[in-house]
Amino acid sequence: MSNGGPIEPAALVIGRSGRLEAASLEAGGDHAILVRETGGDGRHRALITTDKLPTGERLVVMPLDEDVDVRVDGDALAIWLGRGLTGEVPPQHRAVVAEQVPPWATIVGGTLLILVLLFAVVGSAVVFTWLTRLLA
């Protein structure tokens, strides 16, 4: 039940210290995420929203103060993922589990590799012979 006042959106804690939280926002059908500090002053730190494009939408991250570090590289994601995720990883993001390769597959693969190398050596010798006869 609501007491008639504005409904405060649910917040998601960000980081280890719990000092930052992400709150969902909606205005005129657009949705955004506001990153703010918890506590008395609740200073706003960043806004995450989108720009409309003819082909879809572009993600926009707007720092709202000088203490926001914006990184434009894959290292930021790799570092964050390297620390370990707290939740369940979706199946499409799980690493492939190495299974035991049957011995027959190893033999067939090795044989095919040797045949390819043999054809490469023989083909190179034939081409080199043709070139020496042509240029001599």
Helix, strand, coil shares of the chain, percent, nearest 5, are: 35, 30, 40
Which of 26-35, 57-66, 102-111 ranks highest by mean pLDDT?
A: 102-111
From the list 52, 69, 50, 70, the residue with the least C-alpha distance to 60 is: 50
Report pLDDT digits (tens) over 72-98. Answer: 666 666 666 666 654 555 566 566 666
Q: pTM for the complete prediction?
A: 0.48
Other CB atoms closer than 10 Å to residue 14's CB: what's the count? 17
Mean pLDDT of 34-43: 82
pLDDT at 94: 62
